[in-house]
Amino acid sequence: MAAPDARTRRLAERSAGDPTPLADIVNFGPVTLPEFAAIGVTTVADLERLGAEETLRRYVARYPERLNVNAFLGVFATLEGVPWTRVSTRGKALARRLVETLRGELGMVPSKGRQRR
């Protein structure tokens, strides 16, 4: 197995209240970083302070077209201290549940594969 890159190591070594910029960890890319900055979330500590749900509610309020599980996984994974590709089953379920809740609140149809029969 390859050694983790610096951004993955930085995520694994973080502690509560970590001022690490989101740009320095593996879970956020060039599209989401400026979007999160626009809602005032630029560090791991910002995510911790707001929590996943509040962060993502603010995100969707500003960028409703970005309401999808993939955009949410980075937040849950960061709070777990893992890369987005290794977010826990629980984190994935929470991300999916929050997406469906927000879709309902915004009057959007359920995600593909989640439609009620």
- Residue ranges covered by each domain of the chain: 7-105
| pLDDT-derived band at 110, boundaries 50, 70, 90 | confident
pLDDT averaged over every residue in the chain? 86
| pLDDT-derived band at 113, boundaries 50, 70, 90 | low
CB 75 within 8 A of CB 52: yes
**The two three-digit tokens of residue 113, written as one number:** 């594969």
Given a cut of 70, whether residue 8 has pLDDT beyond it is no
3-state secondary structure of 62: helix
CB 37 within 8 A of CB 68: no
Q: Which CATH architecture has domain 7-105?
A: Orthogonal Bundle (1.10)
Length, in residues, of the chain: 117
**The two three-digit tokens of residue 42, written as one number:** 């630029």
pTM: 0.82
Nearest to 43 by CA among 70, 66, 20, 25: 20
